Structure 1
Amino acid sequence: MDLSDLLTVEAILPSLKVSSKKQAVQELSERAAALTGLPARAIFETLLQRERLGSTGVGHGVAIPHGKLPGLPRICGLFARLDKAIDFEALDEEPVDLIFLLLAPEGAGADHLKALARIARVLRDSDTAAKLRATADPAALYALLTHPATSNAA
């Protein structure tokens, strides 16, 4: 699965200004609602419910909040580069500044897991993460995410 299947340039937030995990999730929910046509509140509640199971802050400044929603026609993503790193209760206790929101239809199953694995693989690459942190242009961020240096690896 390629991240270009999940993302559009319009789904890239190059400098999101938030001061807390809850505010980040709320802001991303509102942006995702504008892209998907689903209610922001439903997205927010789904993401919060998932966070209660354990933080989606996966370490190295990266978080991948995700959830499944009824009425969503296909898996979609939203990427945010934060203006300032925030506490996301990450596994390594490091603040988060790169967030990839993933939303999937209720019946997505294995595709949802494949998408999560792909996102994690791209964002775990230290060179890609460094370039994402150094770039504020949405089109350049999109290009880095959809054509990472590691894309030639299986």
Structure 2
Amino acid sequence: MELADILAERAVLFCTGMTEKRQLFEDLAVRAAELTGHPRADILNAITSREELGSTGLGNGIAIPHGKIVGLKGVTALFARLDQPIEFDSVDDQPVDLVIMLLAPTGAGADHLKALSRVARLLRTEAVVEELRKTQDPARLHAILTEPLATYYAA
């Protein structure tokens, strides 16, 4: 599964003025509702319920909040680059400025896990993370996220 298959260009956001995780989740839920047609409240509940089990902050300023939604047609991703890092209870206690939210249909175990694995691998690539932090253009952010990883290993 490629990120280009689940991340629409209009699902890439440059967020300003975020000061806390709940505010970010609410903003992402609104955008996800627009993209998927599912109720904002259901999306917000799915990601906050998962977050209550343990932080999805992976460290190095990166988080991958995720949840499952009844009736969702397929795995959907949203990306947010924050202008200022926010506290996220990450494993390394560092604030977060790069967020990829994944939503999956209930029962989509393999696809959900493939998407999580793909995103985690991408965001462990130092050159990708560096490029994501340098740009402020949503179209360029989308391009960085959907380029083949080999582009960064060849550099």
TM class, shorter-length: over 0.9
CA contact (8 A) 1:125 1:150 kept: no
- What residue is the counterpart of 2:25 in the other structure? 25
Q: Structure 2: 5+ residue runs without aligned partners?
A: none
CA contact (8 A) 1:15 1:80 kept: yes
In the superposition, the TM-score normalised over structure 2's length comes to 0.94
- What residue is the counterpart of 1:143 in the other structure? 143
CA drift of 1:31 comes to 0.7
- What residue is the counterpart of 1:6 in the other structure? 6
Question: What SS class does the counterpart of residue 55 from structure 1 fall into?
Answer: coil
Residues 10-64 of structure 1: per-residue CA shift (max 9 Å, x gap): 0000234310011111111111001000010110011110001000001100000
Q: Structure 1: 5+ residue runs without aligned partners?
A: none
- What residue is the counterpart of 1:105 in the other structure? 105
Question: What SS class does the counterpart of residue 107 from structure 2 fall into?
Answer: coil
Distance 1:106 1:116 in 2: 15
Question: What SS class does the counterpart of residue 50 from structure 2 fall into?
Answer: helix
Residues 117-141 of structure 1: per-residue CA shift (max 9 Å, x gap): 1001111111110100111111111
Letter in 2 for 1:124: R
- Percent of aligned positions that are identical: 50
CA contact (8 A) 1:81 1:133 kept: yes
CA contact (8 A) 1:128 1:148 kept: no
Distance 2:50 2:106 in 1: 14
- What residue is the counterpart of 1:70 in the other structure? 70
CA contact (8 A) 2:128 2:152 kept: no
Residues 103-128 of structure 1: per-residue CA shift (max 9 Å, x gap): 00002111100100100111111111
CA contact (8 A) 1:68 1:104 kept: yes
Cα root mean square deviation, aligned: 1.4
